[in-house]
Amino acid sequence: MNWTWSRFDDLGVDNLYDALALRCRVFVLEQGPYLDPDGIDRDAWHLLGRNERGVLEAYLRIVDPGVKYTEPSMGRVITSPEARGTGLGRQLVAEGVARCQAQWPGQGMRISAQAHLERFYGEWGFERVGAPYLEDDIPHLAMIRPADLAAA
């Protein structure tokens, strides 16, 4: 997997188009009506994973601390339908956590995770905080990766 780690202004039109197309394919077409462009992309780092043919198969963003939450926040975590079940999702999250730790050493992370993925995110030390809630009609959980794991 070839990874690209960029600020919004440095993505370029092809990367931006491919990221939004993949996000739309999954978050809008698979999961239902949803306004994906939320005005936060400009205040985030974007991690794109392309296969050997240059096809975008994985994406996530890390929102700057203080924009959405006090901590940096990982979101829009996505793999293409064709790549599911290959372990790419785990590779993507591991890469995202590592990039976040390098960008903001010693800080924790926060996510708004789909509830059925609690165990998945727990593999990287994310812990549930509070009760489940609905976000875009999908059950979600607030989860935090404590700052003391940042050195681990």
The pLDDT value given to residue 33: 72
Q: What is the pLDDT of residues 91-136, one digit of tens each?
A: 999 999 999 999 999 999 999 999 999 999 999 999 999 999 998 8
Residue 139 CB contacts under 8 Å (≥ 6 apart), including other chains: 114, 115, 116, 132, 133
Smallest Cα–Cα separation from 80: which of 64, 92, 98? 92
Which domains, from first to last, does the chain contain? 2-149 (3.40.630.30)
- Residue 57: pLDDT above 90? yes
C-alpha 5/C-alpha 26 separation (Å) is 21
Q: Residue 97: what residue type?
A: V
User: Could you tell me the pTM of the whole model?
Assistant: 0.91
